[in-house]
């Protein structure tokens, strides 16, 4: 019997209608490549499960079969330990969401008369606050990155300063074209999710780091200038895309965290994005402005950062307030 999980590395051949659905996401909804790949992974996982367990194609799956898959998926992740419970809930919810979108597409195209996911409830998720870093920890990472010397160190400082100054998604940062830099490096033009373009201001420290980096940028292109590499702000001689990859940047951050003696488990490009938003709001920035800089379509997504601030304030009161100390000592 097939078990749900990550699809094998060798790309399986899926039903042609899966490709049609993914093409629709790209052409009609402006989905980014990463979004398309995420949908493909989710649909591929169920496709393989349906074939192995029920001997049916994804387009013919029933409500009971989908529920069986989701239950099996949740159980499999829970087997890895109680600490994975929240991950299991999020994974099941994401898979169900992808399947819902797919079957709604089939109904809209008159390929199926029914949506087998319509009666399936999404698992209830408890609110988890995003991980973040303190201002001193971010400063320590930047300072440590600058101690290495050489072009790699200069590039890493620039990446850190720009990510912390702009709150870009990591895919947006590493995929910035050279043309995204505005006049005097004071702003960036960023193409975000759904093709939505936004202008993001760049702080003075980030501008200086960017100017220093631009002086050595060609070292990452190689001897013969490649047209593919030359178009990117952060080119790479080794990646197929021609620019630094998300995975490589994440690994550089992990290595840097260990060097700076900051818990590497708490450091990632996305955590720096969280730090950007949290620190701005803590300093009194307007929620709408932070929403625009982050590229959030819904302000409710941005509001989660106010909860981080509330939790920190609550913890400070509990630890520092004399009455809290007095009551705790009884």
Identify whether 169 is a catalytic site residue: yes
Identify whether 41 is a catalytic site residue: no
Point out the catalytic residue in the list 39, 49, 69, 305. 305
Alpha carbon distance 20, 105 (integer Å): 10
How many Cβ atoms are within 10 Å of 56's Cβ, its own excluded?
13
Point out the catalytic residue in the list 95, 155, 169, 279. 169
How many Cβ atoms are within 10 Å of 109's Cβ, its own excluded?
12
Instruction: With residue 31 as reference, give the H or E element that holds it.
Output: none
The partner residues of 188 in beta bridges, in order of sequence, read 181, 200
Phi-psi map region of 233: left, alpha, beta (phi>0 left; psi -120 to 50 alpha): alpha
Instruction: With residue 164 as reference, give the H or E element that holds it.
Output: helix 150-166
In sequence order, what are the residues at sequence separation of 6 or more whose Cβ sits closer than 8 angstroms to the Cβ of residue 321?
Answer: none
The answer to whether residues 190 and 172 touch, using CB atoms and an 8 Å cutoff, is: yes
Identify whether 90 is a catalytic site residue: no
Point out the catalytic residue in the list 273, 312, 321, 330. 273
How many Cβ atoms are within 10 Å of 258's Cβ, its own excluded?
13
Identify whether 305 is a catalytic site residue: yes
Point out the catalytic residue in the list 15, 104, 254, 270. 270
Alpha carbon distance 1, 235 (integer Å): 45
The partner residues of 235 in beta bridges, in order of sequence, read 243
Identify whether 321 is a catalytic site residue: no
List residues with catalytic annotation: 169, 193, 270, 273, 296, 305
């Amino acid at each position: 019997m097939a078990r749900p999980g990550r699809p094998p590395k060798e790309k399986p051949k899926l039903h042609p209608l899966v490709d049609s659905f993914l093409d629709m996401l790209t052409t009609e909804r402006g989905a980014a490549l990463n979004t398309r790949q995420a949908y493909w992974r989710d649909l591929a996982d169920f496709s393989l499960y349906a074939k192995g367990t029920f001997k049916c194609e994804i387009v013919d799956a029933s409500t009971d079969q989908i529920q069986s898959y989701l239950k099996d998926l949740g159980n499999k992740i829970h087997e890895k330990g109680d600490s994975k419970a929240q991950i299991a809930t999020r994974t099941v919810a994401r898979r169900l969401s992808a399947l819902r979108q797919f079957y709604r597409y089939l109904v809209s195209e008159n390929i199926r008369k029914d949506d087998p996911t319509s009666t399936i409830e999404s698992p209830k998720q408890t609110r988890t606050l995003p991980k973040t870093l303190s201002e001193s920890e971010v400063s320590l990472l930047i300072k440590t990155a600058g101690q290495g010397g050489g072009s790699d160190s200069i590039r890493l400082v620039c990446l850190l300063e720009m990510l912390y100054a702009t709150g870009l998604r990591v895919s947006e940062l590493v995929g910035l074209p050279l043309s995204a830099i505005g006049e005097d490096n004071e702003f960036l033009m960023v193409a975000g999710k759904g093709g939505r373009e936004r202008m993001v201001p760049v702080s003075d420290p980030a501008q200086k780091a960017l100017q220093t980096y631009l002086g050595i940028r060609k070292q990452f292109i190689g001897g013969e200038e490649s047209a593919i590499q030359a178009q990117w702000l952060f080119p790479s001689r080794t990646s197929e895309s021609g620019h630094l990859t998300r995975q490589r940047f994440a690994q550089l951050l992990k290595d840097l965290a260990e060097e700076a003696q900051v818990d590497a488990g708490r450091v990632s490009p996305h955590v720096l994005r969280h730090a950007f938003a949290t620190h701005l709001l803590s300093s009194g920035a307007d929620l709408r402005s932070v929403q625009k800089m982050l590229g959030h379509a819904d302000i409710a997504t941005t509001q989660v950062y106010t909860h981080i601030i509330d939790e920190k304030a609550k913890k400070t009161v509990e630890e520092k307030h004399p009455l809290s100390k007095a009551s705790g000592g009884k």
